[in-house]
Amino acid sequence: MAFAPRNDADLCRICSKPPHCLSETGDLVEEKSPRTYLTDSGLKRANDSLQNLREKLRQAVDADDCGQLSYLELENDLVAWQKAVQRFSTRTARWCEKARKELEEAEARKQADLARSKAEETTEV
């Protein structure tokens, strides 16, 4: 069965094909690779995970009657993690743009070589 992405966010930013982290039906499979985060939806899932973690920590602090948990310390950790995701997202976007340009250049070289070989065949005949 052919892959039918739910939307363009599920396609790789580099090759516009579905990443290996999505099954042919478009369902997520176990994520073990950074390639997951080359998609917009992968980055969104990472940010959503941070938001869920923040909410769980907030609930844990609210339920902490002894006052042993410091919400501010936990919040600072979460902010640091969120900044790390943003930096990774920025680096990934730059890497994707560089890789896309390299792919375009390789395709242009391939087309030029093909045109050159056809021209040589024409002149030989």
CA atoms of 20 and 28, how far apart (whole Å): 9
Tell me which of 63 and 100 has the higher pLDDT. Answer: 100
Q: Note whether residue 57 is domain-resident.
A: yes
Tell me which of 91 and 101 has the higher pLDDT. Answer: 101
Residue 65 DSSP class = T
Tokens (6 digits) for 124: 């030989």
Average pLDDT over residues 48-63: 74
Q: Note whether residue 58 is domain-resident.
A: yes
CA atoms of 56 and 71, how far apart (whole Å): 11
Q: Note whether residue 30 is domain-resident.
A: no
- pLDDT tens digits for 107-119? 899 999 999 988 8
Q: Note whether residue 5 is domain-resident.
A: no
Give pLDDT, residue 103. Answer: 86
Give pLDDT, residue 43. Answer: 67
Q: Which positions ≥6 away from 75 have C-beta within 8 Å?
A: 54, 57
CA atoms of 60 and 69, how far apart (whole Å): 8
Q: What's the number of domains the chain is made of?
A: 1
Tell me which of 91 and 16 has the higher pLDDT. Answer: 91
**How is 20-44 classified by DSSP, letter by letter?**
TTB-TTS-B----SGGGGGSHHHHH
Q: Note whether residue 9 is domain-resident.
A: no
Q: Note whether residue 25 is domain-resident.
A: no
CA atoms of 49 and 53, how far apart (whole Å): 6
Average pLDDT over residues 69-95: 74
Give pLDDT, residue 15. Answer: 56
- pLDDT tens digits for 15-47? 555 554 444 454 544 444 444 445 566 667 777
The model's pTM: 0.37
Domain that includes residue 64, residue range: 37-124
Q: Note whether residue 13 is domain-resident.
A: no
CA atoms of 109 and 103, how far apart (whole Å): 10
Q: Note whether residue 22 is domain-resident.
A: no
pLDDT tier for residue 123 given thresholds of 50, 70 and 90: confident
CA atoms of 12 and 21, how far apart (whole Å): 10
